[in-house]
Amino acid sequence: MSRRSAHDTVFERQRPAAAAVEQALAGARRSAFWLDDIALSRTRFETLRHTIDADLVIVGGGYTGLWSALRALERRPDARVVVLEAGRVGWAASGRNGGFCEASITHGDENGESRWPEELQTLRRLGDENLDAIEETVARYGMQCDFERTGTLTVAVEPHQVDWVRGDGFLVAAAVRAEVMSPTYLAGAWNKRSTVLVHPAKLAAELARVVTELGGKIFEGSRVVDLGSVGRGAGRLDSGVSGASGASGGSGGGVASGASVAPGGGVAVRTASGGTVRAAHAILATNVFPSLLKRNRGMTVPVYDYALMTEPLSDAQMASIGWANRQGIADLANQFHYYRLSADNRILFGGYDAVYHFGSKVRPSYEERAASFSTLASHLLTTFPQLLGIRFSNAWAGPIDTSTRFCAFFGTARQNRVAYAAGFTGLGVGASRFAADVVLDLLSGQQTERTQLRMVRERPLPFPPEPAASIGINLTRWSLDRADHRGGRRNLLLRSLDAVGLGFDS
Ligand SMILES: Cc1cc2nc3c(=O)[nH]c(=O)nc-3n(C[C@H](O)[C@H](O)[C@H](O)COP(=O)(O)OP(=O)(O)OC[C@H]3O[C@@H](n4cnc5c(N)ncnc54)[C@H](O)[C@@H]3O)c2cc1C
């Protein structure tokens, strides 16, 4: 029998039987539901084995790389844009996330306000405009990605969280339970515009479709192993793009201001598959994976996040929960859960555990963690006891692209021929489009509202080397869990981290 303490959370106080959890998980495939769901319709792109010239080469075929390609082609339709992806388009975080596409580009207002208070209004506006632009783009190209602008329902599941949701859209317990029936809800707030839900893998696949329809070229199985420079006059770098202006729909000039190519040479990226792309400019969109720029190693660390997907709910099961307005839901703990419905009424239930492994490696073996899957299954049954007997079809994990400022950072290298964006810290579905515009602005060499932001100009602190990184991250995680079990009270470590801008509060 487990010991109960005054500091237990609702998930411990109302824990379901271990056998029910085990039964629910029996038979769950260890694969991301979203990627399985599109397996039959997914386009396969060829591998690059020869040398080609381009105006812009993009390394990484997740949202950041694909949005960069799409925006580059919208800005300058005649640009030669090439995307090189090591695996398959969208196989990594972009194809396996929760699908919460949020307006915030700063990982929430609190994080933005604590770092760039004087810019917060601008950052909020740019985030809102970015989300509206995503909606408009999805509609304009007819992108089939189960797009639903249903907002986020933030729920308080412990008494100390109730005050945290007071404000716009506040719902008392009865009102929040009328939206979605969970006995754990004590209060809530529904922000109706700030979040769009998408099918993440379909979004990546549809971005790839649009990129190719606009004339971009995508190569899969084409891992870039070297980022070099080519001098002036090499290849066709100084032809075709000189003097091109062609900006369309962006404040930052051409694709990457092609006019700067002729005098200065460009970049040459080499792939493990034997291909080379010589281009005027490169964008690095490799996120949590090792950067091709030494200076960026250590700027992000992979922290593993876990998710489950249920079988589709029956009409009776849906009726027992309500959820007619199909909001995305998140609770307010430091170790929080996020959950939502799929188009066919499955529940995706993710979050809570966040696991860092010594050495900052991205390894498929880290995705298997039975304890985390059991915890999530147990917490879903606490949240919705009326679903007892439900089964999970999928269980998976992926590395969160964590940076010390909890939102993306940006920069350029190699005399402004290379730009990069990474470190979305688990909130990159929407922000990756904003990041694409930032890196294109930076490559254009022109000042824009985006490039003048402190948020864009400032570089975050790197993570310390091991063993300090794992000691620091794991102590922080332990402290956050402890705070959740102690009425939200933050210990000395968390208060000190808060004071220097390194404290995490979801
Ligand atoms: C489980 C999970 C749940 C999440 N839930 C949410 C959510 O609900 N909402 C939200 O906003 N965010 C969420 N995120 C975060 C979000 O998915 C990411 O921030 C976003 O997908 C980042 O996109 P990206 O293109 O930068 O990175 P990725 O999708 O990781 O793409 C990077 C790509 O670069 C490729 N690459 C790396 N190195 C090379 C190389 N040398 N050569 C060629 N290609 C290379 C990789 O193969 C990969 O495809 C979640 C993440 C995880 C893991």
Atom from ligand 1 closest to the CA of residue 292: 41
pLDDT of residue 235: 36
Q: How far apart are CA 427 and CA 309, in angstroms?
A: 20
pLDDT of 241 > 60? The answer is no
Q: Which are the contacts of 126, defined by CB distance < 8 A and separation ≥ 6?
A: 105, 434, 449, 450
Q: Whose CA is nearest to atom 21 of ligand 1?
A: 94
CA of 246 to the centre of ligand 1 (A): 30
- Give CA torsion, residues 206, 398, 148, 28, to 10 deg: 100
Please tell me the predicted confidence (pLDDT) of residue 151: 96
341 lines ligand 1 (CB under 6 A): no
Alpha carbons 56 and 253: distance in angstroms, whole number: 14
In words, the CATH class of domain 10-38+150-196+305-400 is alpha beta
Distance between CA 452 and CA 274 in Å, rounded?
A: 39
**For residue 4, what pLDDT is reported?**
53
Task: Report the range of poorest mean pLDDT among 53-57, 128-132, 298-302, 383-387.
Answer: 298-302
Tokens, residue 228: 């070099």
Bridge partners of residue 279, in order along the sequence? 54, 267
302 CB within 6 A, ligand 1: no
* Every domain range in the chain assigned CATH 3.30.9.10: 10-38+150-196+305-400
Atom index in ligand 1 nearest the CA of residue 66 equals: 25
CB 338 within 8 A of CB 329: yes
**Mean pLDDT, rounded, for 106-130:** 95
List, as one string, the DSSP characters of 383-430: H-GGGTT--EEEEEEEEEEE-TTSS-EEEEETTTTEEEEE--TT--TT
**In angstroms, what CA-CA distances link 233 with 237, 270, 280, 403?**
7, 19, 11, 38
Total residue length of the chain = 506
Lowest mean pLDDT among 83-97, 202-216, 490-504: 490-504
Q: What is the mean pLDDT of residues 354-358?
A: 88
Q: What is the pLDDT of residue 492?
A: 72
> Tell me, what's the pLDDT at 185?
98
Give residue 355's pLDDT.
87
For helices 468-484 and 492-499, what crossing angle results, to 10°?
110
Is the pLDDT higher at 355 or at 76? 76
Mean pLDDT of 36-63: 97
For all residues of the chain together, what is the average pLDDT? Answer: 90
* pLDDT at residue 247 greater than cutoff 60: no
Kindly indicate the confidence band of residue 251, based on its pLDDT and cuts at 50, 70 and 90.
very low
User: d(Cα 39, Cα 36) in Å, to the nearest integer?
Assistant: 5
- What per-residue confidence (pLDDT) applies to 250? 35
Phi and psi, residue 219, nearest 5°: -120, 135
In the chain, residues under CATH classification 3.50.50.60 are 51-129+201-298+405-457
The string of DSSP codes covering 112-125 is HHHH-GGGHHHHHH
Q: Supply 460's token pair.
A: 């975050």
Handedness of CA 495, 496, 500, 501 (dihedral sign): negative
> What DSSP string runs through 202-251?
HHHHHHHHHHHHTT-EEESS--EEEEEEE-TT-TTTTSSSTT-----S-T
How many angstroms is it from 341 CA to the middle of ligand 1? 21
**274 φ/ψ angles, rounded to the nearest 5 degrees:** 95, 10
Position 246 scores a pLDDT of: 29
* Banded model confidence at residue 252, pLDDT cuts 50, 70, 90: very low
Reported confidence tier of residue 237, pLDDT bands at 50, 70, 90: very low
Place 353 in a pLDDT band, splitting at 50, 70 and 90: confident
DSSP output for 248-300: -S-TT-SSS-GGGHHHH-EEEEEETTS-EEEEEEEEE--TTSPPSSGGGTTS-
Of all protein residues, whose CA lies closest to atom 12 belonging to ligand 1?
Answer: 427
Percent of the chain exceeding pLDDT 70 equals 91
What are the CA-CA distances from residue 136 to residues 125, 248, 449 (Å)? 16, 16, 21
416/24 Cα distance (integer angstroms)? 53
Per-residue pLDDT tens over the stretch 460-492: 999 988 888 888 788 788 777 777 787 777 777
* pLDDT (0 to 100) of residue 504: 57
Q: Cα of 481 to ligand 1 centre, how many Å?
A: 26
CA dist., res. 320 & res. 183, Å (int): 12
Q: Is 254 in the pocket of ligand 1 (CB under 6 A)?
A: no
Secondary structure (H, E, C), 297-326: CCCCEEEEEEEEEECCCCHHHHHHHECCCC
* Residue 246 CB–ligand 1 contact under 6 Å: no
Band of pLDDT at residue 264, cut at 50, 70 and 90: low
Of the chain, the percentage scoring pLDDT greater than 90 comes to 77
Residues 5-21: tens digit of each pLDDT: 557 899 999 999 999 99
Instruction: Tokens for 180, please give them.
Output: 């979605």
Mean pLDDT of 264-269: 88
d(CA 397, CA 408) in angstroms, rounded, equals: 21
Render pLDDT for 176-223 as a digit per residue (tens, 0 to 9). Answer: 999 999 999 999 999 998 999 999 999 999 999 999 999 999 999 999
Over range 136-150, report the average pLDDT: 98
Give burial (CB, 10 Å; 0-12/13-18/19+) of 236: middle
What is the sign, positive or negative, of the torsion defined by CA atoms of 190, 191, 192, 197?
Answer: negative
CA angle 307, 169, 480 (to 5 degrees): 45
Residue 505 confidence (pLDDT) above 80: no
- 265 versus 173: the higher-pLDDT residue is 173
Q: Rounded CA gap, 455 and 430, in Å?
A: 17
DSSP string, 139-208: HHTT--S--B---EEEEE-SGGGGGGG-STTEEEHHHHHHHB--TT-SEEEEESSSEEE--HHHHHHHHH
3-state secondary structure of 30: coil
pLDDT band of 95, cuts 50, 70, 90: very high
What is d(CA 202, CA 35) in angstroms, rounded to the nearest whole number? 8
Q: Which CATH architecture has domain 51-129+201-298+405-457?
A: 3-Layer(bba) Sandwich (3.50)
pLDDT confidence band for 236 (50 / 70 / 90):
very low
pLDDT in the model for residue 129: 98
Cβ–ligand 1 distance for 401 under 6 Å, the answer yes
Going by pLDDT thresholds of 50, 70 and 90, the confidence category of residue 259 is very low
Mean pLDDT of 414-435: 96
User: Average pLDDT of 308-321?
Assistant: 98
